[in-house]
């Protein structure tokens, strides 16, 4: 017989390592998933172009790092800090701007159209983004600057490695998610956003400028994808024009898993997808982990269609 599944490092330390990796990757998926879930919550659009926006963000970050000369870890601390700052400020702005412009130009005229019309437009945008990525950096994967060293923060004794890179990912993603939660829960604009998601008609009647809320939603979703793309580039150290597809699907699965339209749900979904993906890679083999993720998506949808944290609402007839 042929060997179907991979052999895993079955020790407790091995398990801990996979769990940690999964949580780190999961927090990345969560950032992308938030963009899906917020847009869906407001206008019920499955934004198929979101993953490709993330891809363009990575290319932009790569361009920013190259522009200031931060291409290797030996570039000098000042240059690296400048490069990181430029990436972390510029990329979210770039992605937010692009996302808002896309909404203005393409989705906004279709607000009254049936869902399928808008989804097909989003597929069209996804194709265009992918092609732009192809022109930008070519068809083969490009190296992303390896700016953060792989220093192990847990010391040599323990066999679980927690590197500076892992810390960087969590150090960026966790505060961003906290800031988002604070924004949505506590600010007037966040309140308007929640109101619009719940009932657009009532929101309009209460004097909320729904168009503005939608634009802000696209801006925030895009900015989160931008942050995720910088962190992803620094963590994975490689980028190609098709990476938006796979990561977009994972993030999208995460959004659905948590309950699409639900912000804490997207974070939970992202973490679950990250952990399941890594454990699947370890115990079933890399080639089965993708199938496992989408299998879980189907099972969740069948037994709890509103996701892990979604409210149980009956869809109106």
Partner 1 sequence: MTAVGRYWVPGLFAALFAYPFLPVAEANRGEQFTILFVYALLALALNVVIGYAGLLHLGIAAFFGIGAYTVGILTVPFFPFQQSFLVAALAAVLVSALVGIAATAPTLRLRGDYFALVTLGFGLITLYAIRNLDAITEGTKGLNPIAAGPLPGVKENVDLSALKVGDDWGARWYKYPYLYFVILSALGGVMLLLRNLERSRLGRAWVALREDELAATCMGLNPARLKLAAVAVGAGLAGLAGAFYALALRTTGNPQAYDFTLSMIMVCCVILGGLGNRPGVLLGTLLLMGFDRIATNLLDNWLQEEFDLGGGAYTKVSGWKLIIFGTVLIVMMRFRPEGLLPEARHARELRESDDQAVDSGQKEK
Among residues 30, 33, 100, 87, the alpha carbon closest in space to that of 57 is found at 87
CB of 197 to partner 1, least distance (A): 10
CB of 96 to partner 1, least distance (A): 21
- Comparing CB distances to partner 1, the nearer of 213 and 227 is 213
CB of 2 to partner 1, least distance (A): 4
- Comparing CB distances to partner 1, the nearer of 74 and 315 is 315
CB of 38 to partner 1, least distance (A): 16
**Residue 35 contacts residue 47 (beta carbons within 8 Å):** yes
**Residue 137 contacts residue 240 (beta carbons within 8 Å):** yes
- Comparing CB distances to partner 1, the nearer of 5 and 187 is 5
**Residue 229 contacts residue 65 (beta carbons within 8 Å):** no
Q: Return d(Cα 300, Cα 282) in angstroms, integer.
A: 22
Q: Give me the residues that bind partner 1 (CB under 8 A), please.
A: 2, 43-44, 46, 106, 109-121, 123-128, 130-132, 134-135, 138-139, 199-201, 204, 245, 249, 253, 256, 260, 287-288, 290-291, 294-295, 297-298, 301-302, 305, 315-317
- Comparing CB distances to partner 1, the nearer of 177 and 297 is 297
CB of 119 to partner 1, least distance (A): 8
- Comparing CB distances to partner 1, the nearer of 145 and 307 is 307
Structure tokens at 138: 């070519």
- 3 state SS of 143: strand
- Comparing CB distances to partner 1, the nearer of 162 and 218 is 218
CB of 75 to partner 1, least distance (A): 30
Structure tokens at 36: 């899906």
Among residues 245, 148, 173, the alpha carbon closest in space to that of 23 is found at 173
Q: Return d(Cα 121, Cα 118) in angstroms, integer.
A: 5
Q: Return d(Cα 78, Cα 147) in angstroms, integer.
A: 12
* Rg of the chain over all Cα atoms, to the nearest angstrom: 20
* DSSP character at residue 153: T
């Amino acid at each position: 017989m042929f060997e179907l599944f991979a052999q895993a490092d079955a020790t407790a330390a091995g398990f801990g390592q996979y769990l940690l990796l999964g949580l780190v990757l999961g927090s990345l998926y969560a950032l992308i998933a938030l963009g899906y879930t917020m847009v869906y919550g407001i206008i019920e659009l499955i934004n198929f172009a979101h993953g490709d926006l993330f891809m363009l963000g990575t290319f932009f970050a790569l361009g920013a790092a190259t522009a200031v000369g931060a291409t290797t870890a030996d570039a000098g601390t000042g240059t690296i800090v400048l490069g990181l700052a430029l990436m972390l400020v510029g990329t979210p702005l770039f992605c937010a701007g692009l996302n808002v412009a896309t909404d203005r130009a393409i989705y906004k005229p279709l607000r009254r159209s049936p869902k399928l019309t808008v989804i097909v437009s989003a597929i069209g945008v996804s194709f265009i983004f992918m092609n732009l990525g192809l022109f930008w950096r070519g068809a083969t994967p490009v190296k992303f600057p390896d700016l953060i060293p792989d220093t192990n923060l847990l010391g040599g004794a323990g066999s679980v490695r927690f590197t500076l890179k892992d810390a960087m990912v969590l150090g960026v993603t966790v505060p961003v998610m906290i800031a988002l939660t604070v924004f949505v829960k506590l600010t007037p604009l966040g309140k308007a956003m929640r109101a619009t998601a719940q009932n657009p008609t009532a929101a309009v009647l209460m004097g909320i400028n729904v168009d503005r809320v939608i634009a802000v939603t696209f801006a925030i979703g895009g900015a989160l994808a931008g942050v995720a793309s910088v962190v992803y580039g620094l963590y994975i150290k490689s980028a190609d024009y098709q990476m938006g597809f796979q990561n977009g699907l994972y993030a999208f699965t995460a959004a659905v898993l948590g309950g699409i339209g639900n912000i804490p749900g997207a974070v939970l979904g992202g973490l679950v997808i990250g952990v399941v993906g890594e454990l699947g890679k370890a115990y079933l083999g890399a080639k089965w982990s993708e199938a496992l993720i989408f299998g879980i998506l189907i099972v969740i949808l069948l037994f709890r269609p509103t996701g892990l944290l979604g409210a149980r609402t009956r869809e109106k007839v």
